[in-house]
Structure 1
Amino acid sequence: MNQTVKIILVEDELYNLRLLEGMIKKLRPEWEIVQTFDSVKESVDWLRNNVHPDLFFMDVQLADGLCFSIFDQVEIKSMVIFTTAYDNYAIRAFKVNSIDYLLKPFKEKDLVAAIQKFENLVALSTGRVQKQDYSEILEAIRGGEKKYRKRFLISKGEAFYKLPVEDIAYFYSENRVTTAVTFNRQNHVIDFSLEALEEQLEPAEFFRANRQIIVNIHATEKIENYFGGKLKVKLNPPIEEPVIVSRLKATDFKQWMGR
């Protein structure tokens, strides 16, 4: 497809917006990015008064609500590729009810596949597509969201106490013992492995930096470039051993920090 395709990007995370812009310009330099928006309101205001594009790349969760609010206020006949950090429970709904979806962090091969799917659909339908039904996606997101742990029950002597997750700066594992360190520098042994904790903790708040530690985003004071493409993380409260993020995880970690 060599013709100019007009697109709009709706994304409220600047890092992801710039990443997606760069990937699209590399893969389809002839495409025109007409506008970029970071909110439902901004999108609706523009779409009510302007010609719609051929294709949207649209983040599901925007700063002022879910992107589906846009469809409630403006009739969208263009094709849509959703971008989302949601995993597992909503993926089936995206596959069935949208042109395609891109899971964050973006991968070029996934964008290539989504673009090719769009181009194939345009070629088969001469540009006309049936109005898409997003109700199942919305239901999957609202009704199927994973519930993350809010607190732990810890013991001191003969007594038990609640330890809110937001009070924990990081979890580290040593000699198969997992310890939670709070922001006020108290240590508590937790009866879960780091692997188990990864499944229980809100991924927007906690990141598995390496095999030994999971860090709270509010405990990450500074990150520095380290040799071999790795990152060195300074935590507050500090930890004795340096926290090193591998080269393979470095991009994901920086993206997580910038959300």
Structure 2
Amino acid sequence: MDIVIIEDEDLAASSLEKMLLNLDHPIHIKKRLESVEQSLQWFENNTCDLIFSDIHLGDGESFEIFETLNISIPIIFTTAFDQYAIQSFQFFAIDYLLKPYDMIRLSSAVKKHIEYRPNSVIDYNQLDSFLHQLKGSQEKKEYQERFLVSKGELLLSIDSKEIAYFMADNKSLLLFTHKGERYFYDDTISSLEHKLSTKQFFKINRKYIISHSAIKTMAKYSQNRLKIELKVPVYSNDLIFVSANYINAFKNWLNN
């Protein structure tokens, strides 16, 4: 079975690939695609048996790919944002994995694909029930507001309003406050992204998640990048840029 993974997060893509290859099915990862633009180009001349696709990509939503190319390949959507579920079923979706998912849930989705028949009729009563459940869970969803960190032998609980930015540093994740304090935080940037308020925080590239209130200035740096200056000193004196794949979403975030 040839599988294509559409995912802009290295850690998430690697984790999914590893899990797929550990399943009791003959699986070949044919290609990993990281953006809407890259996917549009690749699927013009290529195909596969099954697609695993995140929905929220750096340069847009993966729905754009399937709307533009009218792809009839079965799709299993993977995302932390369950509000996209309704739209996902307008396409050739056979399942929907809400992050974080485990081997049992993944195996069930792959099995559904193996047993899937193109002429199968969708059970709209079952789908309607499922969507009502999702709506209820979305209404109850709350973002993380406090973050437990350590300072020597002390444990500190940092309010999200005190946080200026997060930075991925090799395998570590660092939390920086508006006062310039630095702490190690036990999480990954990929996982953390989905726990934060989307009104307050934005992931500008694979390394940084910044708070809206921490932004001092923004300027065009090149045709494809924006340079961000924060109100607090940046660790290691890094220059911070909004990656090309994230610019449109970043501008929409600022407008909202």
- TM-score, with length taken from structure 1: 0.53
Query: What do the CA deviations read for 1:40-93 (whole angstroms, capped 9, x no partner)?
Result: 11111111112x111000111111111111112212111100011113x44466
Secondary structure of 2:101 counterpart: coil
Residue pairs, 1:38-57, within 5 angstroms: 38-50=34-46, 52-57=47-52
Return the match for 1:19 from 15, 18, 32: 15
Return the match for 2:164 from 218, 232, 237: 218
Paired position in structure 2 for 1:119: 114
**Over the residues paired in the alignment, what is the CA RMSD in angstroms?**
4.3
- The structure-2 alpha-carbon separation of the partners of 1:55 and 1:129, relative to structure 1 and needing over 3 Å to count, comes to farther
Taking the aligned partners of 2:188 and 2:71, their CA distance within structure 1 comes to: 33
State whether structure 2 residue 26 is matched by structure 1 residue 30: yes
Query: What do the CA deviations read for 1:174-213 (whole angstroms, capped 9, x no partner)?
Result: xxxxxxxxxxxxxxxxxxxxxx9x83x5x6xx66448944
Task: Give the percent of matched residue pairs that are identical in Structure 1 and Structure 2.
Answer: 26
Taking the aligned partners of 1:81 and 1:106, their CA distance within structure 2 comes to: 13
Taking the aligned partners of 1:78 and 1:108, their CA distance within structure 2 comes to: 23
Paired position in structure 1 for 2:60: 65
Please state how far the C-alpha of 1:129 moved relative to its aligned partner.
Answer: 4.8
Taking the aligned partners of 1:131 and 1:79, their CA distance within structure 2 comes to: 14
State whether structure 2 residue 74 is matched by structure 1 residue 79: yes
Paired position in structure 1 for 2:98: 103
Residue pairs, 1:1-259, within 5 angstroms: 5-28=1-24, 30-50=26-46, 52-87=47-82, 89-91=83-85, 98-121=93-116, 125=117, 128-129=118-119, 199=142, 208-209=147-148, 212-215=157-160, 218-220=164-166, 235-236=176-177, 237=179, 250-251=186-187, 255-256=191-192
Gaps of 5+ in 1: 148-195, 226-230
- TM-score, with length taken from structure 2: 0.53
Q: Is the 8 A contact 2:36 2:65 kept in 1?
A: yes
Taking the aligned partners of 2:173 and 2:59, their CA distance within structure 1 comes to: 34
Secondary structure of 1:30 counterpart: coil
Query: What do the CA deviations read for 1:104-159 (whole angstroms, capped 9, x no partner)?
Result: 223222212211221221xxx2xx35799xxx9xxx9xxx8x99xxxxxxxxxxxx
Q: Which has the larger radius of gyration?
A: 1
